[in-house]
Structure 1
Amino acid sequence: MGHDARQEAEESIEFTVSWDENDPMNPRNMSKARRWLITTIVSLGSLCVACTSSIYSTTYDQIEREFNSSRLVVTLGLSFFIWGLGLGPMILSPLSEFYGRRKIYIASFTLFVVWLIPCAVAKNIQTMLISRFFNGLAGSAFLSVAGGTVGDMFDRHELALPMMFYTATPFVGPEIGPLVGGFINEYSTWRWTFYVLLIWAGLELVSIVLFVPETYHPVLLRYKARKLRQDTGNEKWKAPTERSQRSMAQMIMQSMYRPILLLTMEPMCLSLCIFSALLLGILYLFFGAFQLTFSTVYGFSESQCGLCFIGLFVGMLCAILTDPFWRRNYMRLESAHKGRGNETNDFQPEWRLPPAILGGPLVTVGIFIFAWTIYPNVHWIAPIIGSAVFGAGTILVYSGIFTFLVDAYPTYAASALAANSFTRSSFGGAFPLFGIQMYDKLGYHWASSLLAFLTLLMAPFPYLFFKYGSQIRQKSRFATGER
């Protein structure tokens, strides 16, 4: 019996399809120009979706008047879109494991374009709100699946630059939205906001269909196994995924309940997810608060209020450009650890947290600068500098937390990121709903200060986990110190 089992195992290994050297089907063997073209297209898709989330905030005044709605109801259009973005990955990520990335891109981006149409031609606020939710749901594929496409095409040693290029887009997009939307809504009607998005998304969809092939390795190996079975007539050739017994329903259920398990049973995951969620909530709250404060205090027009987001944009860009420094710092921590004679278990996920340790105080300082420089007799550049410091801190916190979660929960990295995405979208959708009322009730200075105090409460957590994370992980049933 033991001999039969061993023979069967050897046969299954022998007939398991894998990549050959210089395999033409392997996406990593495509030319560098083609790989960068695909990276650019999926990154622009992510930028388009992120921009669509925030550009809506510039239409508030016109939609309020045309549909005779309150500001709170109109703001729901922003919240519903973000909640759709948070819900989508729970379903689309496991579906991409079955059908591959290309089919998910084409299906979801087609639906993204379709749901932009009722937004553009809406005759009442109900149509707008429902369309915005499904628009976010469809667009979420680019924020959940597209990062995997970049990883499919580049080896680990060359992944840093394309991945930095892609990961910048979900953060830069929300700042570009109000910047462009401010000019559209000052010189045209709000409907042109959505016509412009339709043109952009339509061109993006055509680019995906023409230039973005399937890159997901397990699905490509499945195609290769099918071709081998046809060519050889031998039905024993199988791809690794074809040997898996999991059904799609099981995968979708798992992708929905495991993030909840991580949030309820892992204090590190929960607190870091809340910190990043708080920052996204504040970022989306600012889309309403900026227009309120700069138009009231400085008398800025719609387009000038949009230009105020350049501060956030520049701050985020500066933080993204510090990435090589943090990589060197990571290598320094690793070599120092080995230098102390720790050859075993020479990998610590906590080494990913220094950017978040610096980012936490920057976020708080940035909001305080913004809060206490919003005076008519103080130059408008001062609060914009504060927003730039906040933007830089936000990116540093995000990059530290994202990479830490992936490394601390290597077996459940997708679930850890889904937990983060779910928490961020919950906060990101909820904060804009009370932002304007909070600024009206507390005043511009104390409303912003309240947000700063909330970030101050969360700022120590990255440092605490950097110092004590390895002990906490030893008691965890999900985390591990090794990759």
Structure 2
Amino acid sequence: MSSPSPTIEVKNDVVVDSEKARDPYEVVLEAADDPQQRSSARKWLTVLLISSTSLCATCASSMASFAEQGTMEEFHASRTVAILAISLFVEGLGWGPLLVGPLSEVYGRNIIYRVSVGLFFVFSFPVAFAPNMAVFLVFRFVTGFCGSAFLSVAGGSVSDLFSNHKVGNPMAVYTLSPFFGPIIGPLISGFMNQHLNWRWTYRLLIIWIFCQWMALLVFVPETYAPVILKRKAARLRKTTGDDRYWAPLDRQHKSLAHSMAISIYKPFQLLLFDRMALLLDIWTALLLGILYLAFQAFPIIFEQGHGFSMGITGLTFLGIGVGQIMAFATQPYWNNRFRRDREAYKGHPPPETRLFQGEVGAVLVPIGLFWLAFTTYPSVHWIVPIIGSAPFGMGMYYVYSSVFTYLVVAYRPIAASAMAANSALRSAFAAVFPLFAPAMYKTLGTVGATALLAGLTTLMLPLPFVFRRIGARLRAKSKFAA
């Protein structure tokens, strides 16, 4: 049996025979295999499909907001129990990455997507056709857990497809999707529940999930290089009959159970023993909690205060969405700024340079919330608080984009754990905040309750300014940071 042909490589401007530098039977990425060498159209199609599925999963979380009244009436449940439809789904989104993250590094991204969306589709039927509240709530958690792959693994797929200096725009598109999804949810379910039975909210969701599933099956290939190499090695062993071909993943004897155990305890270890990561995670968790609290607050502000119908109240969330889109539109400016930072630091800028974007967001968030708080009076025209919600949406996008990038770069050895810790804490806040929203707005009023939230975000405002200046010293003392 003939051995593989030697290849020529250039290293440090010197031509060398790669056969002398490595085992000739080790399978390596070639242009035909490399995900980053695929056509731009194919790479962007993959990014858009992954992002749209992420948007679908997070949209499913907030679509339950205007279906609450229907479930309360049919199942004779209290409002607090009905709100659990959002809370449990979000908890599933938060805990799912602890499982699917390690699995994606063993079996690849694509199989995780296909199985996750398939289960998301199947388990949405018990939600749409639930005979009682218990079944409804249990499968809301399960569907959230199944949809979580697109809030964790998907970011890895984007980085698989694009090199570091080209990943900015596709990552910005993906980053927008999970935070724009909750804004679309009330817009859809508001009009649906105004005219149709609450179950149609979830029937429409089933149709949407099925379309995403089919698109993923047809158009999204594997992007994780180690798994691509492993499959290539297996194919060569089969076609040549030579068992000496191997890929790096074949010789990694990592236990899947051990990897999953690490993925579960490492994020909490990070939260307990690294104050910088903890504070940044609390900051992002607070913002997501406020966003999900708005699904209870906006009906109070606009339905009760301004006499809006259910469908029109769903449209009021577009103020936050427009703010997010405006922030996304500024991405070329940030790309240029980060490029200048790379040049200034000779290709290796410290993670703290990413926090400048967070500083802008930290200022915009309380401005938007205070604006919203003091314009919720019925005597003030309804467009004014909606406009005020736009800076909040814009600030949210900047904060998340900044913190996510910072955590991945600053905690590079355990980047997956850093993001899992952030996800778990965010989901906990997003699950709890809607539960106390009705009581808080009844006790403090729309002005007092919203101003309280604005005050909390003001307390967090100094974080990016402080960490941008002393982050390097804190990382030097951390046993987790790079």
Return the TM-score normalized by structure 2.
0.93
Matched, 1:313 2:321: yes
Structure 1 position 30, deviation (Å):
2.6
* 1:5 aligned residue: none
Structure 1 position 155, deviation (Å):
2.6
* 2:248 aligned residue: 240
C-alpha separation in 2, matches of 1:468 and 1:166: 30
For residues 323-344 of structure 1, what are the alpha-carbon distances to aligned partners after superposition, in whole Å with 9 as ceiling and x for unaligned?
22223233444555x5xxxx7x
The alignment-based identity, stated in percent, is: 46
- After TM superposition, which residue ranges in structure 1, 4 or more long, deviate above 6 angstroms? none
C-alpha separation in 1, matches of 2:320 and 2:184: 10
Unaligned runs of at least 5 residues, structure 2 = 1-19
Amino acid of the structure 2 residue aligned with 1:15: Y
* 1:465 aligned residue: 467
C-alpha separation in 1, matches of 2:44 and 2:425: 32
Specify the SS of the correspondent of 1:415: helix
Structure 1 position 145, deviation (Å):
1.2
Matched residue pairs, number?
464
Matches within 5 A, 1:48-63: 48-63=56-71
Matches within 5 A, 1:323-338: 323-336=331-344, 338=345
C-alpha separation in 1, matches of 2:164 and 2:465: 28
Specify the SS of the correspondent of 1:199: helix
Structure 1 position 365, deviation (Å):
1.1
* 2:8 aligned residue: none
For residues 277-331 of structure 1, what are the alpha-carbon distances to aligned partners after superposition, in whole Å with 9 as ceiling and x for unaligned?
0000000000111012110110000011000011000001111122222232334
* 2:379 aligned residue: 377
Unaligned runs of at least 5 residues, structure 1 = 1-9
Contact 2:341–2:349 (8 Å) recurs in 1: no
Structure 1 position 123, deviation (Å):
2.4
Specify the SS of the correspondent of 2:165: helix
The one of 362, 366, 369 aligned to 1:367? 369
C-alpha separation in 1, matches of 2:23 and 2:256: 24
For residues 188-226 of structure 1, what are the alpha-carbon distances to aligned partners after superposition, in whole Å with 9 as ceiling and x for unaligned?
111111111111111111111122222211111001111
Matched, 1:32 2:40: yes
C-alpha separation in 1, matches of 2:28 and 2:341: 36
C-alpha separation in 1, matches of 2:118 and 2:323: 33
Specify the SS of the correspondent of 1:245: coil
For residues 258-283 of structure 1, what are the alpha-carbon distances to aligned partners after superposition, in whole Å with 9 as ceiling and x for unaligned?
11111111111000000000000000
Amino acid of the structure 2 residue aligned with 1:409: Y
Matches within 5 A, 1:44-193: 44-193=52-201
Structure 1 position 12, deviation (Å):
6.8
* 1:355 aligned residue: 357
Of 272-281 and 155-164, deviating more is 155-164
Contact 2:277–2:407 (8 Å) recurs in 1: yes
Amino acid of the structure 1 residue aligned with 2:267: P
The one of 415, 418, 443 aligned to 1:416? 418
* 2:13 aligned residue: none
* 1:434 aligned residue: 436
Amino acid of the structure 2 residue aligned with 1:45: T
C-alpha separation in 2, matches of 1:164 and 1:40: 11
* 1:278 aligned residue: 286
* 2:10 aligned residue: none
Of 449-458 and 233-242, deviating more is 233-242
Structure 1 position 151, deviation (Å):
2.0
* 1:448 aligned residue: 450
Structure 1 position 231, deviation (Å):
3.4
User: Residues 37 and 326 (structure 1 numbering): CA distance in 2 closer, same or farther, change over 3 Å?
Assistant: closer
C-alpha separation in 2, matches of 1:431 and 1:13: 56
C-alpha separation in 1, matches of 2:245 and 2:22: 8
* 2:235 aligned residue: 227
The CA RMSD measured in Å over matched residues stands at 1.7
* 1:404 aligned residue: 406
Structure 1 position 441, deviation (Å):
1.0
Contact 2:175–2:401 (8 Å) recurs in 1: no
Structure 1 position 232, deviation (Å):
3.5
Structure 1 position 42, deviation (Å):
1.3
* 2:15 aligned residue: none
Contact 2:325–2:394 (8 Å) recurs in 1: yes
Structure 1 position 346, deviation (Å):
4.7
* 1:15 aligned residue: 25
Specify the SS of the correspondent of 2:481: coil
C-alpha separation in 2, matches of 1:66 and 1:435: 23
C-alpha separation in 1, matches of 2:449 and 2:169: 38
